[in-house]
Structure 1
Amino acid sequence: MPDIRTATGAPPPAEARRARTAVSTLFFVNGFTYTNAVPWLPVLKDRLALDNAELGLAIAAAPTGAILTGMLAGPMIHRFGSGRTAVGASLITLGALPFIALAQNWWMLAAAFLVLGSADAWTDSGQNAHGLRVQRRYGRSIINTFHAVWSMAAVSGGLVGATMAGLGVPVLWHLGGVSALLVCVNLAVGRMLLPGPEHSERGDGAAHGGDRTPLPVRAVAVLVALGMLLMLAGGIEDSAASWGAVYMTGELSAPLFLAAMPFVACQAMMALGRLAGDRATDRFGAVAVGRVCGLLAGGGMALALLLPHPAAAVVGFGVMGLGVSTLFPLTLAAAGEIPGVRSGDGVTIVGWLGRAGFLAFPPLLGVLGDAFGLGAALWVVSVGGLAVFLLASVLRPRG
């Protein structure tokens, strides 16, 4: 059982405990939603007669939608509150999920992914901003636990989707049923979120009213540095999903069964790292944890590349996953605590930049892989881990 006491040793108020359960549920719903559709992608590809490039472009509509509309999350949080934004945007995401199964052509499939990606960006900002409100009530780090729940939900969603596909359940029944069930869950936990304005728990009074004063130069510099850190974290995390299997089969001649193991190892170690991340952050501080994570991320990939064997690659990608595990929650937490910046705006801006890393790194590594070989290209990930180590000082709390 997780420790539910505050930093002072006293139990948190019942309102904060209920809100923590609600935010954890929102993270679970978010992680569980799209991953149910992933095992169905080959089926949809065959049904719509798409080639690899067409399917890839359709899927890319999701991060494209997030990039194009993600910055709207800040004004939405300021207008409606982080809790309502998270619940409302999650309902849009769930509404888009069955349309993946209903798509009759490429355009319909891409449109479903576009809506899903846009709403997912709003959900992500809203649930992280509300999670920070709950964390302030606790007086200690709990943000990593929320992201651990997301990681476990993502794995669970993939397993459920694979099971349904393997059993031959119609894709619309599966995705429609998941959507209907999670809509009910979302509506139920929405009543458990914290009331009041977004700045209620902040001591600096950020984001009172509707002022439009320019951000301080120092705050802008911190936002940019945190955005760079999250871009690196996104690129490192994506390398396991985008290139782990390709590296195993193309560079190490591993059998197909082992090809998925770098991604599995990375996700499993990310979940474990996030479960332990809050205690480590409270004990050693966000900067120290961030620096160690950068070294682990870079060192794990270096291990996978220096010892060209499938077993070493799986271990290396797992160590890399452990390294990247706390970078997203710690960076978003720091973005929500910048003096003079509304929490919702900070989380939205830095989160938007982080999604750019997921878009930029796969083609970058692809181009370098074609030119120099994938093994050489993946050293960019190790360099990214070193850059995380150098940038980790930006995670220092600012009161």
Structure 2
Amino acid sequence: MLSLTQVPSPARTARIAVSALFFSAGLCFSSWASRIPAIQQKLQLSEAGLGMVLLSLPMGLMLSLPVSGFVVARYGSRRTVVIACLLYAFLLPFLGVVSFVWQLVMVLFLFGFAGNLLNISMNTQAVNVEDEYGRSIMASFHGVWSVAGFSGAAIGMLMLSFSASPFLHFCIITALVWSIVFVAYKYLQVKDIHSGSNTPVFAKPDSTLLKLGLIAFCCMVCEGTMFDWSGIYFIKEVQAPQSLTTLGYVAFMTTMAGGRFAGDWLSVKLGKKNMIRISGLLIAGGLMLAVALPYIVPATIGFLITGMGVSSVVPLVYSAAGRSGKIASGVALAAVSTIGYLGFLFGPPAIGLIAQALSLRWSFTLIAFLGLGTTLLAGFSRIEK
């Protein structure tokens, strides 16, 4: 294992460059999210109408998954990540200038497609850098993405205070991201690991990748539920006052971001498999605390614990998938992402159906058991200790 002083200087530089790409990706997405209400008002969309329109983004994401794996394996992650990041940022201003619903649907589809191409290629770059380091650093890259989420939300609030239009706001973000890409490009890893001529570009995911995908599925159901339902849980079950309805979401996001920066150090100390096992227990324990004691203080503590549990699972799974060596890294990441994103996309709607039939507390109880599934699946998976 390499110490920090033993890490080659090009690897450290590459880590900064890849981190900059993760920041750019998070900044683009959070900038779009911060202006959704303004775009909804401009197009006079109802909540139901907006929900249907927003489905076009995950549809583009899902359809891009097999394409992304092939493109990264065929052309390399360095070339792909640059084109994808430039395209992702380029599409952003079009979201701010749309005048009709069909235009928003079309651009969101392309935005989701480009976003996932960026996701697979930059995670492949992250796997390359991690291989150079010889130790776990994947979680810190995802932590940078989370920090970018906070930054994008803050910039969005600033733009609103100056009454800047979404188009102007997005143009500024695009210019910033393009500048980052042009600086970072030459420091990226040229060659992907497991990309030799003997590594197949197309192959059926084996049981190892399937189990990793199921771990990601369980975790991303939990993550998606917290994104979409934490505020509603605080309103309906915790019955928090209006000023505290977002407290649970903020608590979850804070520990999820912070946990990603601590996750690499902890995974080295505890081992990746043990880290995922503990994370599943934290997810289950945090959610059950919020279910058993639906009051402001214990529910907030529960969401804080859940955020810690969620924080490192997906980065560790991506790291294990990208380093599997049986198929090209980009293809392995795309395979695991496909299974994982199914949980992220379809989990929250399922929670709504269960909540309508029973209650939101029963829904969160089910999610707690899925969190526990992360622990159980890790025990049967081939993840380096």
Q: What is the CA–CA distance in structure 2 between the aligned matches of 1:397 and 1:30, rounded to whole Å?
A: 28
Q: Over residues 173-206 of structure 1, what are the superposed CA-to-partner deviations in whole Å (9 max), with x where a residue is unaligned?
A: 11111111211111210111112x323xxxxxx4
Q: 1:167 aligns with which of 145, 162, 166?
A: 162
User: How far is the alpha carbon of 1:215 from its aligned partner?
Assistant: 4.2
Q: What is the CA–CA distance in structure 2 between the aligned matches of 1:105 and 1:394, rounded to whole Å?
A: 50
Amino acid at match of 1:314: T
Q: 1:363 aligns with which of 349, 358, 362?
A: 349
Q: What is the CA–CA distance in structure 2 between the aligned matches of 1:213 and 1:280, rounded to whole Å?
A: 33
Q: 1:275 aligns with which of 237, 261, 274?
A: 261
Contact persistence 2:221–2:367 (CA under 8 A): yes
Aligned CA distance change for structure 1 residues 374 and 193 (closer, same or farther; 3 Å): same
Q: 1:190-205, aligned counterparts within 5 Å?
A: 190-195=185-190, 197-199=191-193
Contact persistence 1:54–1:106 (CA under 8 A): no
Q: What is the CA–CA distance in structure 1 between the aligned matches of 2:50 and 2:180, rounded to whole Å?
A: 31
Amino acid at match of 2:144: V
Q: What is the CA–CA distance in structure 2 between the aligned matches of 1:100 and 1:293, rounded to whole Å?
A: 37
Amino acid at match of 2:197: G
Contact persistence 1:337–1:397 (CA under 8 A): no
Q: 2:30 aligns with which of 8, 30, 35?
A: 35
Q: Which residue of 1 aligns with 2:339?
A: 353
Range with greater deviation from structure 2 (177-186 or 158-167): 158-167
User: How far is the alpha carbon of 1:207 from its aligned partner?
Assistant: 3.7
Q: Which residue of 2 aligns with 1:147?
A: 142
Q: What is the CA–CA distance in structure 2 between the aligned matches of 1:211 and 1:293, rounded to whole Å?
A: 32
Contact persistence 2:286–2:302 (CA under 8 A): yes
Q: What is the CA–CA distance in structure 2 between the aligned matches of 1:234 and 1:214, rounded to whole Å?
A: 25
User: How far is the alpha carbon of 1:367 from its aligned partner?
Assistant: 0.4
Q: Over residues 239-264 of structure 1, what are the superposed CA-to-partner deviations in whole Å (9 max), with x where a residue is unaligned?
A: 12111111111222212221111111
Q: What is the CA–CA distance in structure 2 between the aligned matches of 1:265 and 1:145, rounded to whole Å?
A: 19
Contact persistence 1:222–1:394 (CA under 8 A): no
Q: Does 1:317 align with 2:303?
A: yes
Q: What is the CA–CA distance in structure 2 between the aligned matches of 1:252 and 1:166, rounded to whole Å?
A: 31
Q: What is the CA–CA distance in structure 1 between the aligned matches of 2:345 and 2:8, rounded to whole Å?
A: 41
Q: 1:388 aligns with which of 356, 371, 374?
A: 374
Q: 1:223-372, aligned counterparts within 5 Å?
A: 223-372=209-358
- Give unpaired runs (5+ residues) of structure 1: 1-5, 200-205
User: How far is the alpha carbon of 1:14 from its aligned partner?
Assistant: 1.6
Amino acid at match of 1:384: L
Q: Which residue of 1 aligns with 2:73?
A: 78
Aligned CA distance change for structure 1 residues 192 and 89 (closer, same or farther; 3 Å): same
User: How far is the alpha carbon of 1:396 from its aligned partner?
Assistant: 4.0
Q: Does 1:180 align with 2:168?
A: no
Q: 2:197 aligns with which of 204, 209, 221?
A: 209
- Give unpaired runs (5+ residues) of structure 2: none
Contact persistence 2:199–2:328 (CA under 8 A): no
Count of aligned residue pairs for this structure pair: 385
Q: Over residues 126-176 of structure 1, what are the superposed CA-to-partner deviations in whole Å (9 max), with x where a residue is unaligned?
A: 111111111111111111111111111111111111221233112211111
Q: Over residues 281-340 of structure 1, what are the superposed CA-to-partner deviations in whole Å (9 max), with x where a residue is unaligned?
A: 111110110010000011100001100112222211111010010001000011112132
Aligned CA distance change for structure 1 residues 180 and 395 (closer, same or farther; 3 Å): farther
Aligned CA distance change for structure 1 residues 211 and 390 (closer, same or farther; 3 Å): closer
Contact persistence 1:266–1:321 (CA under 8 A): yes
Amino acid at match of 1:225: K
Aligned CA distance change for structure 1 residues 215 and 100 (closer, same or farther; 3 Å): closer
Q: 2:107 aligns with which of 100, 112, 124?
A: 112
Q: Does 1:61 align with 2:56?
A: yes
Q: What is the CA–CA distance in structure 2 between the aligned matches of 1:328 and 1:300, rounded to whole Å?
A: 18
User: How far is the alpha carbon of 1:394 from its aligned partner?
Assistant: 5.2
TM-score (norm 2): 0.96
Identity among equivalent pairs (%): 31
Aligned CA distance change for structure 1 residues 307 and 10 (closer, same or farther; 3 Å): same
Q: Which residue of 2 aligns with 1:3?
A: none
Q: What is the CA–CA distance in structure 1 between the aligned matches of 2:381 and 2:351, rounded to whole Å?
A: 27
Q: Which residue of 2 aligns with 1:203?
A: none
Aligned CA distance change for structure 1 residues 212 and 295 (closer, same or farther; 3 Å): closer
Aligned to 2:99, what secondary structure does the other structure show? coil
Aligned CA distance change for structure 1 residues 251 and 40 (closer, same or farther; 3 Å): same
